[in-house]
Amino acid sequence: MTDCGYPREGIEAPKCTAGVRVLKLTIAYDGTRYHGWQAQAGTKHATIQNILQQALSKILHEPVNIVGSGRTDSGVHAQGQVAHVRMKNCMLPRILQRALDSLLPRDISVIRISRVGNNFHAQFSAQRKRYRYRLVGAARPSPFAQRYVHRVGRPLRVPAMRAAACHLIGTHDMAPFQVMGSPVKDTYRRITDVRVQQQEGEIWIDIEANGFLYKMVRRIVGTLIQVGVGKQTPRVIHEILSTGEAGLVGPTAPACGLSLLSVKY
Amino acid sequence: MTDCGYPREGIEAPKCTAGVRVLKLTIAYDGTRYHGWQAQAGTKHATIQNILQQALSKILHEPVNIVGSGRTDSGVHAQGQVAHVRMKNCMLPRILQRALDSLLPRDISVIRISRVGNNFHAQFSAQRKRYRYRLVGAARPSPFAQRYVHRVGRPLRVPAMRAAACHLIGTHDMAPFQVMGSPVKDTYRRITDVRVQQQEGEIWIDIEANGFLYKMVRRIVGTLIQVGVGKQTPRVIHEILSTGEAGLVGPTAPACGLSLLSVKY
């Protein structure tokens, strides 16, 4: 055993200095079999945060609290979730990453670990987040993408969806797009980029903003689907944002199509 | 109900002519939860052939025997398996495809159906087949590719694997690469293309031949892995082929990494 609790020989442990270090973790996961990111005390549901916390505590021999950039819902995936941990243990990031690699299940992967300043906070330091929603219209998704793509079951008019999506750019009160009864006070968000692309036989809707309300992406996508199937005109987004009329918002799109692509700091 | 047993209104059924028609189906599947292609009478194991046969019989109202280009093993995937059916029913291919779409599970997809001449036989008319094996060395595969990629767990020297793979091109007695005790008499196969590529953080080994023996691809890949980790030199393939020494063949690589890419006629 080295000072840093890592059992292999020949790996040089850095000299431990007093105090706490902060590490930034970039994490990818297939959310299919998890009850979302958020640790749930007192339940048996597996969550990403719980699994990471257990693995980290086991490796570092200290209780660890891993703080994510935000929650992802049950069944939602991530290609670039970001989290931080504060720890006393002075294990090198690459050693920690290797140890995590051997403990984590195959559907959760810590793809990068770096040391950051003590002021870094995965949630509060985040400047922008980018989500991608993958869907198909009437076509059948590839059997290899079935866990990551929502099938609408009807043909979609992509140009109309793209025209509707344009109205999202800018700073708006996004309250109509959050789930009713959410406790958030400030519901204004700045949407910096929206793209509706046709890729690999699918439609990808990318949305980047300085923050997201609860189920906001899935309710936006649900509304764009209504436009795509012709139940709404592309102006509906503008109407919702200018009148605050939540009744015009489409049904929340299923979790499986959604992935947190990246968080920018 | 139309003459062709399709219940929707407004879809014109072609005039049925006497005799049997042959349809060629191109099929993609995620083999993870199936016991291979081959129908197994008397067991409860789900196989791709069983599931397709049940769906086809239900739609066509006649017993159907679907004949594949060859078996794929338990856990092996396909992007372009080909099969044929002989049937009396005169349902249009696109109508049949739509009906199959609504009956098949999400991990099996019939991506194309076309009418072919009565002499067409999915197995015996096949000229060439192409398989892809996806693997990684020490790196962790993406959580989204975990079901389709084999992780060796040690760094791989790709140039050495590529040099070894070159020896496969040509017509050889591939008996050392088949599983012991296979009943096939003619074990000569002509390998027309072999590629070892680095793609998307993975290594893809593509092999095209006029036919494959039982577990041949996975035993070739197992041998190339031995070369990749430095346990064998790139000349090992040449030695196996020239001496017939099956003892030099590496362990059979796991099924999950293998996919039948295409069948050429």
Chain B residues with CB under 8 Å of a chain A CB are 28-30, 77, 79, 101, 106-109, 111, 140-144, 146, 148
Interface predicted TM-score (ipTM) of this complex, two decimals: 0.84
Residue A7 has pLDDT above 90, yes or no: no
The sign of the CA dihedral A59, A60, A64, A66 is negative
How does strand A128-136 pair with strand A202-209? antiparallel
Tell me the C-alpha distance between B144 and A104, whole Å.
Answer: 15
Residue tagged 């020239």 (tokens):
B242
Q: Which of A140, A150, A202 to mutate to test the interface with B (most CBs of B within 10 A)?
A: A140
CA distance A209 to A70: 13
Burial B143-165, CB ≥16 within 10 A → b, else e: bbbbbbbbbbeeebeeebbbbbb
Cross-chain Cβ contact A143/B29 below 8 Å: yes
Q: Please answer whether residues B84 and B121 qualify as being in contact, where contact means their C-beta atoms are separated by less than 8 angstroms.
A: yes
pLDDT value at A15 more than 70: no
pTM over 0.95: no
Check CB contact under 8 Å for A142 and B77: no
Of the partner residues A108, A111, A142, the one whose CB lies closest to the CB of residue B28? A142
Q: Do B109 and A143 touch (CB under 8 A)?
A: yes
Q: Mind telling me the catalytic residues of A?
A: 73
Q: Do A106 and B141 count as a contact with CB atoms less than 8 A apart? A: yes
Cα B64 to the chain's mean position, in Å? 21
Candidate from A28, A108, A143 with C-beta closest to B108: A143
Answer yes or no: is pLDDT of A206 > 90: yes
Residue B3 has pLDDT above 70, yes or no: no
Q: What is the pLDDT of residues B77-130, one digit of tens each?
A: 999 999 999 998 888 999 999 999 999 999 999 999 999 999 999 999 999 999
Distance CA A191, CA A175 (A): 14
Dihedral Cα B68, B70, B73, B76, nearest 10 deg:
-70
CB pairs under 8 A between A and B: 44
CA distance A230 to chain B (A): 22
Question: Measured between CB atoms, which of B107, B108, B140 is closest to A101?
Answer: B140
- Distance, in Å, from the CA atom of B15 to the CA atom of A252, rounded to the nearest integer, reads 45
Contact check, Cβ <8 Å, B143/A101: no
Q: Tell me, rounded to whole angstroms, the distance of Cα A242 from its chain centroid.
A: 28
Pairing type for strands B108-116 and B188-199 reads unpaired
Rg of chain A over Cα atoms, rounded to whole angstroms, equals 21
